[in-house]
Amino acid sequence: MEETLDTEITIEAPAHTVWAVLDNIARYPDWNPLVPELRGRTTVGKQVEGVLTREGMPTVPLKPTLTAIVGARELRWLSERPTPGEFRAEHYFLLEETGNGSTRLIHNEDFAGTFLEQVWEPINTLGRAAYEKMNVALKARAENYASEIPAIHPTADAGSYTSESLEGKTMRCGCAIAPVEVAINAPVYHNHLCGCSKCWKPENALLAMIAVVPAGNLEVIDGGEKLEAVEKDLKIVRYACRDCGSHMFGQVEDVDHHFFGLDFIHPELVDGPAPRLEFAGFVSSLVETGTEPARMSAIRARLSDLGIPFYDAFSPEIMDIIAWHKVKLAKS
């Protein structure tokens, strides 16, 4: 005997967001009424373990093997009894982009085996209701993520920029008393947002704000005794105030590094507006620093609304400069 339990729903969220909710099985207890518990790693060939719950039917242990994973498109797992031909169930989710920003979720399960005839009627009724309940819960959760308007950075969110040069201005750390003060004695360039794990960011900022000045044009005019190097073994060594943690500047010592000759600063440490933001870089790195993957579509949408181009590295302009630097090194 073979049967298919078929359900579907349209979710007003990108497939990327729906997938991020489905793939984060550790958060299933927060929202999933069908599979309220699932543990393990979602990797093809791996087995995960949890429970399956359906109103009016007994809760059953779940220990399927993942058979197919195509990021943001398809997830399949297989459960079967040890006795060949007795019972086999392949549970799968297919995500189809509709072209208007929403996602058609196909949530099915294919059943086969001699035991199926005894249990198909409750599966097709009570089981179907439970699957549809999960679909509704998934829709609500994904749409909640998709509708978020995240706070990016106080400067970006306020849209407060200046066309004036920061040359001649002073950066101050966050200490209310005796702050570290660093004078900027050259023009500031390439102001951008960064999502990497190394760049310091102020409170209530999702991404850091970084700009550069030609090396040798920063002057510590007060509080220098409080400056300490952060992770000295990195190519860009950051110097931060040991009291408040504000990163004041970063310097490059390796003469072969593509950023040698530049010092990195945080323009928000200057009183008043910062230079206009040119782009946001390393946005996907936010996931590595703890941001839920399901939030990423909303974050990129917010950057787009703010008119800030975004990339998962630097801007194309800077990436071309780095690539050319590698060519120069190879020729030298």
**Tens digit of each residue's pLDDT (9 = 90 or more) over 203-233:** 889 999 999 999 999 999 999 999 999 999 9
The C-alpha angle 230, 235, 236, rounded to 5 degrees, equals 55
Pick from 292, 30, 48, 23: nearest CA to 137:
30
Residues 269 and 320 in one domain: yes
Task: Give me the count of residues in the chain.
Answer: 332
Beta-bridge partners for 332: none
Q: What is the CATH number of the domain that holds 55?
A: 3.30.530.20
pLDDT at 215: 97
Q: Is 36 a residue whose pLDDT tops 90? A: yes
Sign of the alpha-carbon dihedral angle for 43, 44, 49, 51? positive
Residues 138 and 172 in one domain: no
pLDDT higher at 332 or 313:
313
pLDDT at 327: 86
Ramachandran bin of 40, using left for φ above 0, alpha for ψ from -120 to 50, beta for the remaining angles: left
Residues 171 and 320 in one domain: yes
173 part of the active site: no
Residues 232 and 290 in one domain: yes
Q: What is the CATH number of the domain that holds 198?
A: 3.90.1590.10
Residues 277 and 296 in one domain: yes
Beta strands in the chain (DSSP E): 2-11, 37-39, 49-54, 57-62, 65-70, 74-80, 88-97, 103-112, 161-162, 170-172, 181-184, 189-194, 208-214, 218-222, 227-230, 236-241, 247-252, 262-265, 274-275, 280-281
Residues 199 and 133 in one domain: no
Q: Is 261 a residue whose pLDDT tops 90? A: yes
Residues 139 and 22 in one domain: yes
pLDDT-derived band at 199 (thresholds 50, 70, 90) equals very high
Q: Is 193 a residue whose pLDDT tops 80? A: yes
Take residue 296 and report the two structure tokens written for it.
């990423």
Take residue 77 and report the two structure tokens written for it.
């797992």
For residue 85, the tally of other CB atoms under 10 A from its CB is: 11
pLDDT at 324: 84
Mean pLDDT across the stretch 141-160?
Answer: 95
pLDDT at 203: 86
Residues 318 and 245 in one domain: yes
Task: Report DSSP letters for 102-150, one per residue.
Answer: -EEEEEEEEEESTTHHHHHHHIIIIIHHHHHHHHHHHHHHHHHHHT---
Q: How many domains does the chain have?
A: 2
Catalytic residue among 173, 175, 196, 244: 196
Average per-residue pLDDT for the chain: 95
Label residue 88 exposed, middle or buried (CB < 10 Å: 0-12, 13-18, 19+). middle
Mean pLDDT across the stretch 74-79?
Answer: 97
Residues 126 and 9 in one domain: yes
Residues 28 and 78 in one domain: yes
CA–CA gap between residue 48 and residue 61 (Å, rounded): 11
pLDDT-derived band at 160 (thresholds 50, 70, 90) equals confident
Residues 49 and 168 in one domain: no
Over the range 15-35, which residues count as b (16 or more CB within 10 Å of their CB) and which as e? bbbbbbbbbebeebeeebbbb
Q: Which domain-ending residue is among 121, 146, 171?
A: 146
pLDDT at 332: 72
Report pLDDT digits (tens) over 271-307.
999 999 999 999 999 999 899 999 999 999 999 999 9
Q: Is 317 a residue whose pLDDT tops 90? A: no
175 part of the active site: no
The domain containing residue 24 runs over which residues? Answer: 2-146
Take residue 280 and report the two structure tokens written for it.
């946001």
Q: Which domain-ending residue is among 146, 171, 187?
A: 146
Lowest mean pLDDT: which of 34-43, 81-90, 242-251, 315-324?
315-324
pLDDT at 204: 86
Residues 65 and 174 in one domain: no
199 part of the active site: yes
- This prediction has a pTM of 0.89
Pick from 91, 102, 88: nearest CA to 5:
91
Q: Which domain-ending residue is among 146, 166, 181?
A: 146
C-alpha 282, offset from chain centre? 10
